[in-house]
Amino acid sequence: MQTKVAIIGAGPAGALLSHILDRAGVDNIVLERQSRSYVLERIRAGVLEWGTVETLREHGLADRLDVEGHVHDTINIAWRGTETLSVDTSEKIDRRMMAYGQTRIQEDLYAAADARGASIVFEASDVALHNVTTDSPYVTYRVNGTDERIDCEFIAGCDGFHGVSRQAIPESSRKEFEKVYPFGWLGILSETPPLPILLYVNHERGFGLCSMRNPMLSRYYVQAPITDSVDDWSDDRFWSELVGRLPSEHADQLVTGPSIEKSLAPLRSYVCEPMRHGNMFLAGDAAHIVPPTGAKGLNLAVSDVRYLSRAFIQHYQGDDSFLDSYSDMALRRVWGAVRFSWWLTTLLHRFPDQTAFDQRAQEQELSYLAASAAAQTALSEQYVGLPFE
Ligand SMILES: Cc1cc2nc3c(=O)[nH]c(=O)nc-3n(C[C@H](O)[C@H](O)[C@H](O)COP(=O)(O)OP(=O)(O)OC[C@H]3O[C@@H](n4cnc5c(N)ncnc54)[C@H](O)[C@@H]3O)c2cc1C
């Protein structure tokens, strides 16, 4: 097979890139290791920066999002079990966020792919990248027991943190930055009405998060030891731990019920530099991951794709400047989000070696945030998302 851009991975980054390129008439083929239903069932992100919402709207992907998405404009943080700060981002910087599940975005992307007859090969195994530093790179893979090959001009590595694309950059040309946090997030999904606000919690017992997907679907998290297993956490244990970390006014409002999904996610910050090697370009989790605190992972995947799709489209119109600046430009925004996610994670979690002094220092920083308009503006700017270049 022959195409202009071979895209590895049909998660949000790969499927969105394919959608934008198809609309611009840039031929592409997507290879996905998993089945379509497996990708659609993954429960992940839920909070969209406004730039992400606008990007999806610009590309005709927001019909359902505009009906079902829940616009919200406050960042709420509780601490000491009694105090709560509420920052109104629309008042501070005139920008908002939207709660809309990644699962829904993935469904919208696949529905759009079906409508335009896009080329997505599911259950493609043994994907390998070849000749990436030449003008004739190619990708090999196996599907339905047959070996296949795609010759292309560019390869877009959108295959997530555990994908193969990043390995195409030799270790001598790759710089990796990593921080692994000594705890995880135990998350549950329940078909119960969510709290009316999205609430982050700093508590002596550990972090908590109350989040929403839609009026009858709630997503909650508690910080848990990464050595725990999901089986250690009955629904009753989860709810009582969450309630114990919330101020009573919110605990009283919490509607509990059986979980329909439960998972334990490790927390890690990771960046690979550069995001280009020859004619292979990385986008999304393939190049970087952030802890979910601050809700940046999916949003970064979308902003990378915004830059990369523009770079490919401009290339086919005779201008390589965005292709040449892609890695530096994407990394500027990535590091902004990586720093913010690290800061918010550090501020809101209980670390294993944390002393009473450290706990008080965290609480004081939250009290300062509650009192300072300047600090709230800085928080708002980064939370709703830095502007695109
Ligand atoms: C529990 C959890 C909560 C999260 N919450 C948030 C949040 O609130 N806000 C937010 O912005 N982000 C959040 N994230 C992060 C967000 O989900 C990711 O950043 C986002 O999915 C990145 O999209 P991607 O397309 O780059 O990577 P992925 O979604 O990982 O997609 C990569 C795709 O490539 C495929 N693939 C992998 N290897 C190969 C291969 N060798 N060949 C072919 N295909 C391959 C995979 O099957 C996958 O479909 C969360 C993540 C988790 C785990």
Query: Which pLDDT score, from 0 to 100, does residue 309 have?
Result: 98
Ligand 1 centroid–CA 297 distance in Å is 8
Query: Which pLDDT score, from 0 to 100, does residue 215 have?
Result: 86
Q: Which residue among 102, 199, 211, 264 is best mutated to probe the pocket of ligand 1, counting the most ligand atoms within 8 A of its Cβ?
A: 102
Q: For residue 313, is it within any domain?
A: yes
Please name the residue that has the structure tokens 């560019």: 154
How many separate domains does the chain show? 1
Cβ neighbourhood burial of 368 (10 Å; 0-12, 13-18, 19+): exposed
Residues in contact with 38: Cβ distance below 8 Å, sequence separation at least 6, in sequence order: none
Query: Which pLDDT score, from 0 to 100, does residue 119 have?
Result: 86
Q: Phi-psi bin for 124: left (phi > 0), alpha (psi -120 to 50), beta?
A: beta
Ligand 1 centroid–CA 263 distance in Å is 15
Residues in the chain with pLDDT values less than 70 = none
d(CA 352, CA 324): 43
Q: Is 282 in the pocket of ligand 1 (CB under 6 A)?
A: no
Which residue's CA is minimally distant from atom 27 of ligand 1? 160
Q: Is 127 in the pocket of ligand 1 (CB under 6 A)?
A: yes
Tokens coding 3: 């195409």
Q: What is the pLDDT of residues 125-181, one digit of tens each?
A: 999 999 999 999 999 999 999 999 999 999 999 999 999 999 999 999 999 999 999
Backbone angles phi, psi at 206, to 5 degrees: 130, 170
Instruction: Please list the active-site residues.
Output: 72, 200, 292, 296, 383
Q: Is 158 in the pocket of ligand 1 (CB under 6 A)?
A: yes
CA dihedral 65, 66, 67, 70 (to 10 degrees): 80
Q: For residue 21, is it within any domain?
A: yes
Query: Which pLDDT score, from 0 to 100, does residue 185 have?
Result: 96
Contact 18, 7 (CB under 8 A): yes
d(CA 13, CA 19): 10
CATH of the domain at 33: 3.50.50.60
Contact 5, 156 (CB under 8 A): yes
Q: Which residue among 263, 280, 298 is best mutated to probe the pocket of ligand 1, counting the most ligand atoms within 8 A of its Cβ?
A: 298
Q: For residue 233, is it within any domain?
A: no
Query: Which pLDDT score, from 0 to 100, does residue 42 have?
Result: 84
Backbone angles phi, psi at 3, to 5 degrees: -155, 175
Q: How many angstroms separate the Cα of 202 from the Cα of each of 31, 177, 195, 273?
A: 41, 27, 17, 33
The domain of 289 spans 5-50+100-178+269-346
Please name the residue that has the structure tokens 């997907």: 213
Query: Which pLDDT score, from 0 to 100, does residue 85 have?
Result: 94
Strand partners, 266: 184
Query: Which pLDDT score, from 0 to 100, does residue 46 have?
Result: 81
The CB density around residue 319, as the number of other CB atoms within 10 Å, is: 12
Q: For residue 83, is it within any domain?
A: no
The CB density around residue 355, as the number of other CB atoms within 10 Å, is: 9
- pTM attached to this predicted model: 0.94
